[in-house]
Structure 1
Amino acid sequence: MSYLETLINGLLLGGLYGVLGLGLALVFGVMRVINVAHGEFIVGAAFVALSVTSLFPGMPPLIAIVPVAAIAFVMGYVFQTILLNKVVRGGDMLPPMLITFGVSIVVRNLMLARFGSNPTVLRTGPIAQESFSVAGIHIGLLPLVTLAISVLLFSALQYALVRTAFGRMIRATADNPDIVRLMGVNPKRIYAVVMGIAFVMASIAGILLAMRTSFSASSGVDRILIAFEVVVLGGLGSIWGALLAGVMLGVVQLMSFQFDANSGLLYAHLTFLAFLLTRPNGLMGAKS
């Protein structure tokens, strides 16, 4: 594989990595909550998609995004309303972090009990093998579709936050929930909607990832690690920063295979560490 082809495939993989951290970045940016269970929700969405496609044989996984996303929004709204709204107060990040850590353990064990520990795959059909060539460079159709969906999600979320009245309400709540309460806005309801949207992003990430690789009930740890790196490297709470960080990690990972085929995510992790030491506020954050 040429370096140019590797670079292009790294960009395509990076779009997926960006989506892994998108919901996490949104929740932290609005509520200053670190959702430790984010990886389990990603994997859980993949299992829900597997169940949906099993109930309706022949349904493409991309179509399954619609019902799975709807289920994810309801679950996120209920999760925030019943659990996190009781402990999100005063900017103290420890209580919600402990709650989500406990939830991650419970969800992981529930998935182990229901689906077992063996890796499984989400069958994608012909799209997984289809590709085309541009100037002798082979580009997979599924990675390209994944990148397109990633850019669409980032653009839609950015537009909603900046250009819509509800988005301005979300940003105002993130800045000062006490002030918006005086304007008749219920911050807890805003938080519940934001968590619902974050669950939708996690569900889409889970389906896109399951279409490209196998997964198991214990895969959440790997997913949350990448998601955290994307959020921190991009700049805490930065939407476009998460996409930029995902692209960087994807490119580094695939380029490293050119000289170390067994490296896995090693050099991507080292890149994250290097930036953390030299620019702790991230790519889109203010310089220290």
Structure 2
Amino acid sequence: MIWVETIVNGMLLGGLYALVGLGLGYAFGIMKIVNVTQGDFIVAAAFLGVFLVPWTPVHPLLVIVPVAAISFGVGILLQWLLINRVLGQDPIPQILLTFGLAIVLRNGMVELYGANSHSIDVGELRFMGFDFLGLRLGVLPVVILGIALALFAGLHLWMRRSRMGRIIRATADDHQVAQLSGINYRRVYGIAMGIAMALSAVAGVLLAMRGSFTPYSGADRLLIAFEVVVIGGLGSFWGMFAGGIILGVTQLVALKLDPSSGLMWGHLMFLLILFLSPNGIAGMVRR
């Protein structure tokens, strides 16, 4: 039963990992942008949550709402003012720009908060648990999985059924044809980047509730995001969710077998899936 509990807890962790990758995958799927800033922005959102929690008279979980709203606005401005200027067939300018932004953001966080570790205090919620079918599960990980599922399902439905979602999909397919139809693709890209940043902000706050972080944690977050996207397959929401689950389960099972292994086996699983199917899980399903 202890192995079943380990796998279930790995799935709970994997839901959070999937959310970490969702923002990166969404931005790349719509705009073909490799946003190297994503990992450091996740950490910046976590620091914003740390700052807001003492000033808001609500449960720390609800701080997600203002953090996501602020991040949405920042994402729009970032796209309109900077990233739209380097859009094109060559990804190098985009990578260099976002890499530079990541360095500035990281050093800014060090100046403001120092290099010490931080976390968001959720009180007793972090230690609360319950028994389910003989398994001991934490309340906070279950809540986080529920939030991740809701965001994946909500974004999936919104992209397929709303007018704005269809406009974004049309722009992603061919922005030049969309422009001929009267769509301002640069404005659409701004909204898409705002959504991507808001999703990353939610992931950052939830990660800060589950564990500690420093201004230098962005690289680890970015690596997880890339692995989730590649394992799941570009353009597949539920493929990315499955990719997060695979990483989470692999990590916790490996830690159970070898407590000193860290994330090594998760990275090896990523390489194995990349070797077997370069298009990820979505590519396997489409075969």
Which amino acid in 1 is paired with 2:12? Answer: L
Which amino acid in 1 is paired with 2:164? Answer: F
1:159 corresponds, among 127, 137, 157, to 157
CA contact under 8 A between 1:60 and 1:125: conserved in structure 2? no
Which residue is equivalent to 1:77? 76
CA distance in 2, matches of 1:216, 1:229: 21
Which residue is equivalent to 1:203? 201
Is 1:142 matched up with 2:111? no
Q: Which runs of 4+ in 1 moved over 4 A?
A: none
Deviation at 1:259, TM superposition (A): 1.4
* Count of aligned positions: 286
Is 1:177 matched up with 2:169? no
Which amino acid in 1 is paired with 2:64? Answer: I
Which residue is equivalent to 2:58? 59
Deviation at 1:136, TM superposition (A): 2.1
Deviation at 1:241, TM superposition (A): 1.1
Unpaired runs of 5+ residues, structure 1, are none
Partner SS, residue 118 of structure 1: coil
CA contact under 8 A between 1:61 and 1:207: conserved in structure 2? no
Partner SS, residue 5 of structure 1: helix
The root-mean-square deviation of aligned C-alpha atoms, in Å, is 1.2
**Deviations for 1:42-98, whole angstroms, at most 9, x for unmatched residues?**
000000011111223x53221101111110011000000000011112x32221111
TM-score by length of 2: 0.97
Unpaired runs of 5+ residues, structure 2, are none
Deviation at 1:19, TM superposition (A): 0.2
CA distance in 2, matches of 1:197, 1:152: 15
CA distance in 2, matches of 1:195, 1:95: 17
CA contact under 8 A between 1:73 and 1:200: conserved in structure 2? yes
* Residues 237, 95 of structure 1: alpha-carbon distance in 2 compared, 3 angstrom cutoff: farther
Which residue is equivalent to 2:257? 259
TM-score by length of 1: 0.97
Is 1:68 matched up with 2:103? no
CA distance in 1, matches of 2:78, 2:238: 26
Which residue is equivalent to 2:189? 191
Which residue is equivalent to 1:283? 281
Partner SS, residue 256 of structure 2: coil
Mean Cα deviation higher: 232-241 or 68-77: 232-241
Which residue is equivalent to 1:27? 27
Which residue is equivalent to 2:104? 106
CA contact under 8 A between 1:23 and 1:201: conserved in structure 2? yes
CA distance in 2, matches of 1:65, 1:131: 22
CA contact under 8 A between 1:236 and 1:285: conserved in structure 2? no
